[in-house]
Amino acid sequence: MNQVDYLRISAIDRCNFRCHYCMPEGAELDYILRPELLRSEEILTLLQEVFIPLGFRKFRLTGGEPLLRPGIVNLVREIASLPATEDLSLSTNAFLLADMARDLYDAGLRRINISLDSLVPETFDKIIGNRGRSRWEQTWKGIQAAHKVGFNPLKLNVVVIPGINDREVLDLAALSIDRNWHVRFIEFMPIGNIELFGERAWIPSEELRQRIRSQWGSLESSDVKGNGPADVFQIPGAKGTLGFISQMSECFCDRCNRMRLSADGWLRPCLLNESGQIDLKTPLRQGIDPAQLREKVRQILLIKPEINFKQRDSGTDGELYKRTMSQIGG
Ligand code: SAM
Ligand code: SF4
C-alpha cells in the first residue's frame, strides 16, 4: 500500500480571486465563519498528536488563498520548526506575495507553488474574475519577489482551459528556460465550475507536450523534488522544468500519498470522492483524547485505497463534487 505521508492543510477557504475554473460563476459561496476555522494551535495539535505519529511528514498550506489568513507567517514558522516536518510548502495566487515573500522565507518556508494562468493581463483578469484595475502586475511582482528571496523550487501552476489560455502554453513553458522555475500544466478538472468544464472541457497533457516538442524538439525527462503526481520534463538546456499533472487522462490514485484537511477541520481522504470524510474539529473542541482521534484517522488510512476515486465515472457528475477546490483546500 502506498505510504500516505502528505497533508494539504487549507488555511482559509476565502480567496481574493475568483478563478472561473475554481469557483462557480455568480453563485455565492458559503464561507466558513471565523469561529469555525481551525485555530493555529488546533492545527498544530492535530499535526503533533494525530498526523505526525501516523507518519505524516510533508505539509502544504493552501486554501482558498492562504495569505489571507491572519497569522499565516507564524503558522508557517510553527509548522516549519516541528522536528518531524520534512517538507513544508505553500500554494498561493501571489497577489499578496510581494510584501510577504521575505517574511515567509524567514519563517522557514522554502517551497512555493504559484497559480499563473496567463501572461496577458486581459486574459489573466478574465480568468480570475477581475473587472477592476488589472491584477496581473501585482501578481507578477509577487512572483518576482518569491524568485528574489530564493524560494526553490518555485513552481508555477497553469490550469489549461481550451480557447481561453491554451494559446499561451508555449509562452508559459518558455518561463522555464532562463530561470530555475518549474511550470506545471494541470488538466482542468470537473470540480468547482462544472458548467465551464462542460462548455470548454480539457486538453490532454500529451497534446500540450506535442505542441511544446514541435517548438523545442524532444523533451528530456527530469527529476525535480516534489511530492506530486506531475510527470516532469525539461526543454533541452533549460534551467527549470515542465510538469504535467494529468488527473483526467491518467489515473494516479494508486500512487496517491495525500489527504486534505479543510479550514474547518474536516479530513478528506480523496479529492474527488466525498465519502470517508471525518470531522476532527468538533471532537477536538470537545476535549477528546488525541489517541482516539488518531485511531479514527488510522481507520481512514486503512480504507483510503477503496475510497480513492480511480476514475469511477467519466468525471462529469456534478453531484460528486459539491465543494470547490477553494473550499476543500486544493
Ligand atoms: N489560491 C491558491 C492558488 O490559486 O494557488 C491555492 C488554492 S487553489 C484551490 C490550488 C490549486 O487548485 C491551484 O493551482 C488551482 O489552479 C487548482 N485548481 C482549482 N480548481 C481547479 C480545477 N477545476 N481543475 C484543476 N485545478 C484546479
Ligand atoms: Fe482563489 Fe486559488 Fe481558487 Fe483562484 S484557484 S479562486 S486563486 S483559490
For residues 168 and 203, the answer to whether their CB atoms sit within 8 Å is no
Residue 159 resides in a domain: yes
As for how many domains the chain has, the answer is 1
Task: For residue 179, report the distance from its CA to the centre of ligand 1, in Å.
Answer: 23
From the CA of 200, the nearest ligand is 1
Predicted TM-score (pTM) of the model is 0.93
Sequence-ordered list of residues with C-beta below 8 angstroms from that of 207, at least 6 positions apart, any chain: none
Residue by residue, DSSP assigns 58-111 as: EEEEEES-GGGSTTHHHHHHHHHTSTT--EEEEEE-STTTTTTHHHHHHTT--E
Asked whether 63 lines ligand 2 (CB < 6 A), one says yes
**Cα(305) to centroid of ligand 2, in Å?**
28
Count of H-run helices and E-run strands, the chain: 11, 12
State whether the beta carbon of 43 lies less than 6 angstroms from ligand 2.
no
Distance 325 CA to ligand 2 centre (A): 8
In a domain, 36, yes or no: yes
Q: Which of 8, 14, 16, 18 to mutate to test the pocket of ligand 2 (most atoms within 8 A of CB)?
A: 18
Residue 1 forms part of a structural domain: no
- Cα distance between residue 316 and residue 174, in whole Å: 32
Q: What is the per-residue pLDDT across 60-79, written as a single tens digit (0 to 9) for each?
A: 999 999 999 999 999 999 99
**CA-159 nearest atom, ligand 2:** 5
- pLDDT above 80 (res 219): yes
Q: What is the pLDDT of residue 41?
A: 97
Q: Which domain holds residue 164?
A: 6-328
- What's the CATH code of the domain at 56? 3.20.20.70
290: preceding bond cis by omega (within 30 degrees): no
193, pLDDT greater than 90 = no
pLDDT of residue 316: 42
